[in-house]
Chains A and B, each alone.
Chain A
Amino acid sequence: MDMIKGHQELVAALRKSGDVIEVTRQVDWNLEAGLIARHINETGDRSALLTNIKDYPGARMHASPLSNYRRMAVAMELDPDTPPKKIIDEYERRVRRPIKPTLVKDGPCKENIVKGDDINLLQFPAPMVHDGDGGRYLATWHVVVSRDLEQRDWVNWGMYRCMVHNEKYLGLLTLPGQDIGRQYLKYQAANEPMPVAICIGPDPCSAAASTSSPGAGVSEADIAGAIAQEPIELVKCETVDLEVPAYSEIVIEGHLLPNVRVVEGPFGEYTGYRTSPRDPRPVVKVSAITYRNNPIVPIANMGTPVDECDILFSITWGMDVRQAVSKLPVAAVHIPPEACGHAAVVAVHKIYEGIAEHVANAIWGSKLGYLMPFVIVVDDDVDPYNWNEIIHAMFTKLHPQRSLHARHCTPGHGLYPFLSTYERKWGIASNLLIDLTWPIDWDKNIDVPQKASVRGMYPRGLAEKVVAGWKEYGF
């Protein structure tokens, strides 16, 4: 099967699978489009192609492109009913084989090219996503492309929010622990503007790859190719030395200015709160805009679960956690979408004491240590994909004095809602390991309680027979 090459092609695939509706009545870019996206996320409904936008005749927006596993499965060209664990297993299988992108001469994102005085970011229906946001966020579903100043072959792709200041300037959130922040600090130290290209509405595999966190030195373009199972086609930018996915809906080229800040935000964030305040943040001076004919502006509306962050983090960060703990006796890993990417649940084979610490150290020692404050470790009879089982373990096996291991002064960032204002400002975080495993020195026959469940308290043959013949009982 051919990969889904762009966002318009994703919408076509979602139409085929019945996962998008078309809204032809007029929708306002000011709050109404964002509200539709938010309600889709909170109800799990289909995504919506909005084809009649107030003040923007002919323009289109796509609300909630990938905020459930069904649409993610479609994006990966799997059966839409594929269960989450199978999607994540398939993702892992694919990303083990990175595929480098190919450079092509031309692509749909070059159908229109605007430079100089004609540049006007407000020619597109940038949504006011939530009431009280600091501005209109044109880029909520995108790839920000940037090249490292020293390691020139390291091209980072990341999804970092972009707010329209005016026709020619954007605000960009560049947290210091994210790869873009690390790269920007190098340009800033050299007092050089940092070239960036913001690719709005790229193909879904490039969007997904840009939310993964493989760490410095790894180019996410290779991961995007792996997910798509073929090279991503890139085209050269007009005004910066960067290459971008050729099928992007809109590409904004420009430079992040060194040592300059303008107030940006606040914004309803992936945690489900508006946590980080309006603050001085870096700005992009735009040097060119290129776009497809009749482009679609996607809106990923961050907030309470489940949104694109929650789905993508469960997959891409799930993979990063799997890699971080791959040498340990781990049975299964999951990043539950309901926890907004803040928690990893790891099931272990408890063959030695301290495995929980070992697992938490591995995760917090990886790039994700900056992003994931909670690690929950369970025995291998608990399914990390099943919240009911996790909650049950939490309130039965958790020893209030022995099971909670807090760490202070850990790396983190200003979007964590539980930190104080001062801690958020400087990214001074705290982490918590919740160890829900039975202690190794408890005798299995004498000390460890027996689980009163189908799996735990009946002869296996009988349990299998009863469950397999369930309908025969008249259920």
Chain B
Amino acid sequence: MAKQYDTFVDDLATLPEGKEVVLAVRNLDDFKTIAVKAVVSSTGEEDDLLWLRFSRGRLRDKPWRIKVIEELPFEALFIESSVLQ
């Protein structure tokens, strides 16, 4: 059975299709934040499911697909920043 993940995105242009990207996704079994190197696409039947949520949590109707190439250490998600908001 296809695995299910989700990620949060407002502007779909920031989620490039068909090429390798490093993404923060959640595994929908336990909701852990995981770092993956993956290829995503808005179409297709194969691969695992990638549900998309807007950044305030609302779920988009149609899931994308995700092919996880490699799970990366959590530290791959570290963003260097001193801004506190």
Q: Which residues of A contact B (CB under 8 A)?
A: 30, 122, 128, 130-136, 164-169, 174-176, 181, 184-185, 188, 257, 259-263, 266, 274-275, 277-280, 282-283, 414, 425-427
Contact = CB atoms under 8 A, between A and B. Distances in A.
Nearest to A257: B78
Contacts of A134: 8, 57
10 tightest A-B CB contacts, nearest first:
A132-B57, A277-B55, A165-B33, A278-B8, A176-B84, A261-B79, A166-B32, A278-B55, A261-B81, A280-B79
Interface of B: 8, 10, 24, 26, 30-34, 53, 55-59, 74, 77-85
Identify which of A130, A185, A280 gathers the most chain B CB atoms within 10 Å of its CB: A280
Contacts of B59: 132
22 contacts: A122-B30, A130-B57, A132-B59, A134-B57, A165-B74, A166-B32, A166-B33, A168-B74, A169-B33, A169-B74, A174-B84, A175-B84, A176-B85, A185-B84, A188-B82, A259-B80, A261-B78, A261-B79, A262-B24, A262-B74, A263-B8, A263-B33
A277 B10 CA distance: 10
A280 B56 contact: no
A166 to B, nearest CB: 5
Contacts of B24: 262-263
B82 A259 contact: yes
Given A165-B33, A414-B85, 19 more contacts: A122-B30, A132-B56, A134-B8, A135-B26, A166-B33, A169-B33, A175-B84, A175-B85, A259-B81, A260-B80, A261-B79, A262-B24, A262-B77, A263-B24, A263-B77, A266-B55, A277-B10, A278-B55, A279-B55
A3 to B, nearest CB: 36
A168 B32 CA distance: 11
Contacts, number: 89
Given A176-B84, A278-B55, A260 B31 contact: no
Contacts of B31: 30, 128, 135-136, 164
B42 to A, nearest CB: 20
Contacts of A188: 82, 84
Contacts of B57: 130-134, 266, 274
Nearest to B54: A277
Nearest to B9: A278
Contacts of B26: 135
B74 A184 contact: no
A166 B77 contact: no
Nearest to B24: A263
Contacts of B34: 166
A124 to B, nearest CB: 12
Contacts of B81: 259-261, 280
Nearest to B10: A277
A184 B57 CA distance: 27
A274 B56 contact: yes
A165 B24 CA distance: 11
Contact of B85 (A130, A266, A425): A425
Contact of B78 (A30, A168, A176, A260): A260
A263 B25 CA distance: 10
Contacts of A263: 8, 24, 33, 77
Given A164-B32, A166-B34, A169-B74, A262 B79 contact: yes
A426 B77 CA distance: 23
A283 B8 CA distance: 18
B56 A277 contact: yes
